[in-house]
Amino acid sequence: MHAPARHAYLSTRVSAMAARLLSDGEVDALIDRADGQDDLLLQAAGLSGWKPEGTGDGGLSLEQRLIASLLADFAILVRAMRGAARRFFVYWACRFELSNLKAIMRGKMAGETPASIRSRIVDMGPYSRLPVEELLGTQDVAELLRRLERTPFGAIARETRRIFEERRELFAMDAAVDRRYYAGLDLHVQALDRSDRQHIGGLVGDTIDRTNLLWLLRYRFSYGLPPAQTYYLLIPAGERMPAQLLQQLARTESIAELITRLPREFARPLASVTTAADATLVLERDGWRRAETVLRSRAVNLGRVLAYLMLREKLLRQLRAVIKGRRLGLDPDLVRRATGVMAAFGPA
């Protein structure tokens, strides 16, 4: 199948899959459903046929099953890809493997048993590159990172190992993993064909900009990190926020001052924000809107594939929050805030 035909096939598949996406209004309506209606909630998102958690599914957690659903969609779409485009999307999916890596590191530092850690691992199936069982069998984090250096995650392992040897701080290690991942994602964008790079690069660059801004707000004003350390932890890539601007933002002394220095497209929606938590809701929602615009375009390009996967992940995260909130008996407005629909619809 030639590239134009593959793109047309993928665009058709994405259009069909997109029918299972729910609007924020529909998610908001699901929050008020009566107890015991989780099956109806899942059916609305094309996830019918699931059994109650822990029965008939190998004991998978809700989060594991939702990620497995996303990876099933991913497998269908990536099957029709070739070359640099396929490598980009396979790398995009490896973020779930990095979540597995973080779970193993946390478990090792907490002295958990391999069985306990394994229960939280997401099965990546044929796209798995992380030697989970080998890492689970290591004695400690130092040995784990040494073993990891001999895998495709070698660059991540080396930077994380250096931080571990210097500070042994899980936060700094997690940040190093994330920073390396996004830097690698940008490199995979640069390796795409010109047309694919044009359509995918905008979404990735926007994601990196928003991620940098969220991290900057969190590191600087929630964790109180100094400017130099804050800047060092940011991703060396992006679309509209170059390194010089990030350095300036890291030196600001308040959220209000930081917002005044932002490009207009970020400053406008954040104008009334006073906390990093509120900024997270606003920035995530604006990022989803950009993905929705790309998905609705009906253009035949790989940008729609990435937009769909981003929005499908968003929906599955929302469903997880709704189901968990119901099971824990949380206030509906708290669930609305966790799903991100509170900002769109306000309190019920």
- Whether 66 shows a pLDDT value over 90: the answer reads no
Reported as a single tens digit per residue, the pLDDT across 178-209 is 999 999 999 999 999 998 898 899 999 999 99
- Whether 220 shows a pLDDT value over 60: the answer reads yes
What is the longest distance spanned by two Cα atoms in the chain?
A: 55
pLDDT on residue 328: 85
Pairwise pLDDT comparison (338 vs 5), residue with the higher score: 338
- Average pLDDT on 237-257 reads 93
- Whether 52 shows a pLDDT value over 60: the answer reads no
- Whether 262 shows a pLDDT value over 90: the answer reads yes
Report residue 72 as tokens: 């099933």
Contact 104, 117 (CB under 8 A): yes
Residues 6+ away with beta carbon under 8 Å from 97: 124, 128, 129, 130, 153
- Average pLDDT on 18-43 reads 77
Count other C-beta atoms under 10 Å from residue 44's C-beta: 18
Reported as a single tens digit per residue, the pLDDT across 74-86 is 999 999 899 999 9
pLDDT on residue 86: 94
Confidence grade of residue 345 (pLDDT, cut at 50, 70, 90): very low
pLDDT on residue 348: 34
Model's pTM, two decimal places? 0.89
- Average pLDDT on 224-250 reads 92
**Which part of the chain is CATH 1.10.132?**
1-81+304-348
Confidence grade of residue 43 (pLDDT, cut at 50, 70, 90): confident
- Whether 58 shows a pLDDT value over 60: the answer reads no
Confidence grade of residue 1 (pLDDT, cut at 50, 70, 90): low
For residues 111 and 13, give the distance between their C-alpha atoms in angstroms, rounded to a whole number.
Answer: 45
CATH says 82-189 is which class? mainly alpha
For residues 293 and 276, give the distance between their C-alpha atoms in angstroms, rounded to a whole number.
Answer: 26
Collapse the DSSP code of 23 into the 3-class scheme (helix H, G, I; strand E, B; otherwise coil) and give the result.
coil
- Identity (one letter) of the amino acid at 301? N
What angle do helix axes 303-328 and 62-78 make, rounded to 10 degrees? 170
- Identity (one letter) of the amino acid at 258? L
Number of H helices, E strands in the chain: 20, 0
Rounded to the nearest integer, the mean pLDDT of the chain is: 87
**Which part of the chain is CATH 1.20.1690.10?**
82-189
Instruction: Indicate the CATH number for domain 1-81+304-348.
Output: 1.10.132
Let me know if domain 193-301 sits in CATH 1.20.1690: yes
- Average pLDDT on 296-323 reads 89
Token match 């798995």: residue?
Answer: 128
For residues 61 and 119, give the distance between their C-alpha atoms in angstroms, rounded to a whole number.
Answer: 8
Confidence grade of residue 166 (pLDDT, cut at 50, 70, 90): confident
- Looking at the chain, the whole-number percentage of residues with pLDDT higher than 90 is 54
Buried b (16+ CB within 10 A) or exposed e, 221-239: beeebebeebbbbbbebbb
Quote the Cα angle for 209-210-215, to 5°.
100
DSSP string, 87-143: HHHHHHHTHHHHHHHHHHHHHHHHT--HHHHHTTPPP-GGG--S-HHHHHTSSSHHH
Residues 6+ away with beta carbon under 8 Å from 165: 142
| Distance from the first to the final alpha carbon of the chain | 50
Lowest mean pLDDT segment, chosen from 54-68, 97-111, 137-151, 254-268: 54-68
